Structure 1
Amino acid sequence: IDFDVGLRNLDLIMGCERRVVYDLINVIQDEATLNQALIKDKHCENLYVLPASQTRDKDALTRDGVEKVLKDLTEKMGFEYVVCDSPAGIEQGALMALYFADEAIVTTNPEISSVRDSDRILGILSSKSRRAETNGIPVKEHLLITRYSPERVEKGEMLSVQDIQEI
């Protein structure tokens, strides 16, 4: 599910941008069914994309609406895994994806500002997710470091893994 309302791009990355008819917001607002909005990947049999809206306001993402979509995907349609692609930054789309997370892969670059932003996201997961609110099992967290270059670390041009862990 692409949660980047207004700036969707998962459909572009997945090569299905020309097949988008309905989106996540259409489903939340009962303007389309999940079956109408889901786009089946042409290369991977069990992969589907639910695109974000390109034109709607982020406020159209409601907790109840997102919960219903996730429940329908898992309980009615039998999806074993639902990957939520969260937008960069902390806004409505990111907060909705984080709230319902069971497991989270947070990406960061080896730069101080990116690491600090990722640390804030991890803090939200541990304090404002549904699991945190209900004192459930904590969200399983993973930090994925992208654009990492051992050569640049040696030259002092980039944070090391140890530096990132300390921040």
Structure 2
Amino acid sequence: MGKTTSSANLGMALAKMGRQVALVDADFGLRNLDLLLGLENRIVYTAVEVLARECRLEQALVKDKRLPNLVLLPAAQNRTKDAVSPDQIKLLVNALAQKYQYVIIDSPAGIEMGFKNAIASAKEALIVTTPEIASVRDADRVVGLLEAQGIKKIHLIINRIKPAMVRANDMMSVQDVQELLAIPLIGVIPDDERVIVSTNRGEPLVLSESPSLAATAFENIARRLEGEAVDFIEVDANNDNIFSRIRRLLWTKII
């Protein structure tokens, strides 16, 4: 659904704005955030070594040479999600929050222990979903879990929107997703092949010299997080009823 891509680009966008940013990879066993940032070859220690007191927190933080005010706390690849507890993650995040203005936690997929670890110390959440029925249903479940955890400040990022498909009634619109989830919208990311290229190169889109709509969308989200009023990228949609659109999408899938 693009959680890791969003974490990497938002972290970089905020760092470009001069903010002190710490990115935390909470996906133990399947870490990917280091790859998207192009920092995989610079990892010496991980969060597990910090918690085992085999190194200091500062030793495990990987600084980005492109933007020194951004650091990554990597997850361990050779440990499962049960290797750490929510209380341990909370300790790490609270320590980072003493120095960094933004601590962005990249949550793993699913709602098991990895998810519980990721939200243990969260003050607010960004829900990343694609405009597909299954993805939106999963997002709705996550919203309920976050609210049960006492996290009330929740915003929505709709990823990989395709305006042509929305106009043809083959994809849910931004308005459709908003109506179903009923949480405030903070960003709309248009589908862009350059996201795949940037991922493979370990260079977040917001650092690219050639401008793209997706990069602008991530930068706009960062500005909104800073409290700026920024207009949303307009995505055209027909005035079709949301439920008739969903029925059509389901019917097409069945056929």
TM-score, normalised via structure 2 length: 0.59
Aligned pairs for 1:2-151 within 5 A: 2-75=25-98, 78-128=99-149, 132=150, 138-151=151-164
Equivalent position SS for 2:154: strand
Give deviations 1:75-123, integer Å, cap 9, x for gaps.
3xx1221110111221222222223211211100000010011111111
- Aligned residue identity for 2:125: A
Larger Rg: 2
Specify which structure has the higher proportion of strand: 2
Query: What SS does the corresponding residue of 2:161 show, helix, strand or coil?
Result: coil
Looking at structure 1, the residues matched to 157 and 40 of structure 2 have their Cα atoms a distance apart, in angstroms, of: 27
Contact 1:29 1:65 in 2 (8 A): no
Amino acid in structure 1 at the alignment position of 2:38 = G
**Sequence identity, in percent?**
48
TM-score where L is the length of structure 1: 0.88
Partner of 2:178: 165
Distance 1:71 1:116 in 2: 31
Mean Cα deviation higher: 9-18 or 21-30: 21-30
The runs of 5 or more residues in structure 2 that have no matched partner are 1-23, 181-255
User: How far is 1:164 from its partner?
Assistant: 1.2
Alignment gaps of 5+ in structure 1: 133-137
Rounded Cα–Cα distance in structure 2 between residues aligned with 1:122 and 1:106: 8
Q: Would you say the 8 A contact 2:31–2:76 is kept in 1?
A: yes
